[in-house]
Structure 1
Amino acid sequence: MTDLPYRPAAGIMLLNRDNKVFVAQRIDTTLDAWQMPQGGLDPGEDAQTGALRELEEETGIPPHLVEIVARSAGELLYDLPADLAGSLWRGRYRGQRQVWFLLRFLGRDADIDLATAHPEFRTWKWAEPGDLPDMIVPFKAELYRNVLREFAAHLS
């Protein structure tokens, strides 16, 4: 698996006015895991454009309802567990290399609509930033700790 490349992607830590983070549960699993919006970049797409596209595709939140607070200094990586690596993304990637964005949500909760053209989430909530590593699937916990360290100056 170490011979495989990382899939280029973007991740979004979306904060509300109370500095709580948007998290959602995937529609394709019954796990009690919560994640932040994220997804792969289209060929030739820059990370910021991809992040805003993914946010709207997954949550219905259009770009004009967010402001960019910060961007990760570099890419943050995670590896898939062996049992997923062979099936996810047709077995072409070992994990993802993500540029993360910290965004401020300018809208209202009513502006969030998971019933998008291709729904990915079944439910959502606002969570305390420090709780994130315990809420995600275990193989992404270190990634979430790295995201928290990256944006720590903006979370207090």
Structure 2
Amino acid sequence: MAKIFRQAVMAVILNDEGKVLIGYSPRDRSYKFPQGGLEPKEDLICGIKRELREELDYHLDEQYILSIYEEKINYPFPPDCHPVWMGQELSIVKIRFDHTTNIIPQDDEFDELHWILPHELPNFETEYRAQAYWRALEIAGLI
């Protein structure tokens, strides 16, 4: 069976200073945006809410969603990384940070979080996701 791209969603969370949230993932040994695969028949809003709760204990109120973009990004996984998926195709959700909720890294998804200016992204090792992440920031109008 041929491998396909996993349908996924990622959050570009923007604070009042124009910075975006990235985190270091000890599991992936690189920096990444909050993101994850969609469950079967799960819509983007339900998916991003679930992923943010699972990864950061962040409870997203839909009023903070700024945009959901039609254009998607994708990246291939490293060879032999996953038995089913060849990579991820991500929908991008731009979110204004809600200061009334917490961001607390959960399990091994993230162990450190950083608010960075969008143009600083290349200073952080995002490995095989780098080009896709840069494109996501372009789509979101941040660079």
Q: TM over 0.5: same fold?
A: yes
In structure 2, C-alpha distance between the alignment counterparts of 1:53 and 1:103, rounded to whole Å: 14
In 2: Cα distance, 1:73 partner to 1:136 partner: 27
State the percentage of identical aligned residues: 27
Does the Cα contact within 8 Å between 1:65 and 1:106 map onto a contact in 2?
Answer: no
Deviation beyond 2 Å, 4+ runs, structure 1? none
Amino acid in the other structure paired with 1:15? L
Q: Secondary structure at the match of 2:21?
A: strand
Matching of residue 112 in structure 1 with residue 103 in structure 2: yes
Q: CA deviation at 1:87?
A: 3.4
- C-alpha change, 1:69 and 1:27, in structure 2 (3 Å) is same
Unaligned runs of 5+ in 2: none
CA contact (8 A) 1:133 1:142 kept: no
Q: TM-score, normalised by structure 2?
A: 0.88
| Structure 1 contact 81–139 (Cα < 8 Å) conserved | yes
1:65: how far off? 8.1
1:132 — aligned with what? 121
| Structure 1 unaligned blocks of 5 or more | none
Residue aligning to 2:24: 25
Question: RMSD of the TM alignment (CA)?
Answer: 2.2
Residues 60-139 of structure 1 mapped to structure 2, 5 A cutoff: 60-64=57-61, 67-82=64-79, 86-88=80-82, 91-107=83-99, 111-114=102-105, 116=106, 118-139=107-128
Q: TM-score, normalised by structure 1?
A: 0.82
Counterpart of 2:12? 13
Paired residues of 2:64 and 2:96 also in contact (CA < 8 A): yes
Instruction: Choose which of 133, 139, 142 in structure 2 pairs with 1:150.
Output: 139
Higher-helix-fraction structure: 1
Q: What is the rounded CA distance, in whole Å, between the counterparts of 1:70 and 1:58 in structure 2? A: 21
